[in-house]
Amino acid sequence: MPDPNPAAMDFFLTRRSRPAKILTAPVPDREALTPILTAAARVPDHGKLVPWRFVVLEKAALLRLATLARKRGNILGIEPERVEKGVSQFADAELVVAVIHVPRSTEKVPEIEQILSAGAVCVTLLNAALASGWGACWLTGWHVHDPDFCRKGLRLAPGEWVAGVIHLGTERHAPPDRPRPDIADITEWVST
């Protein structure tokens, strides 16, 4: 058994995402972000396929994506308030890491395991940012499910899709905690 790590366990028992709307500059620079990305890449990955990659979006790219989100939302006929919410996810952000699912063709590793690995990257990236002292939030939105937005805005290849959009920055204020599930209500113990 590995040695217990009470500090890590305390972190997991008290961690919480920070809403993207309270994140501001400063943000991690490349030197600070690299160990966060390195930690995120240390997830279960059956077959060592690396079925994911990162797209780091800095301010100029985020403003470009905000413009594209408005254009695509109007073309798709999305309600104006939903369009603006998608636009603000990029326009108001300072730094975002898009985690891209990259499917790998193999008979040994089912697609669902590759998808779950990409999800594990998202949560590990989020937690690594929080553990490094940054505010972080995992979002998606209508725009990342729009193939034209993803192709034009994020330059995704055919078959790739966005697993998560992780916002990073400095939190303006600590948000209140939210209610958590009652473990007894969601746990079944099987002894025989």
Q: Where is the binding site for FMN, in residues?
A: 15-17, 42, 46, 138-140
Asked if residue 17 lies in contact with residue 126, where contact means CB atoms within 8 angstroms, the answer is: yes
Strands 135-139 and 95-101: unpaired
The two three-digit tokens of residue 11, written as one number: 């972190």
**Three-state secondary-structure class, residue 101:** strand
Known binding-site positions: 15-17, 42, 46, 138-140
Q: What gap in Å lies between CA 169 and CA 28, rounded to an integer?
A: 7
Q: What gap in Å lies between CA 110 and CA 112, rounded to an integer?
A: 5
Provide the β-strand partners of residue 24: 170
Helices and strands: H and E segment counts in the chain: 7, 5
The DSSP code sequence of 5-25 is -HHHHHHHHH-----GGGEES
Q: What gap in Å lies between CA 49 and CA 77, rounded to an integer?
A: 38
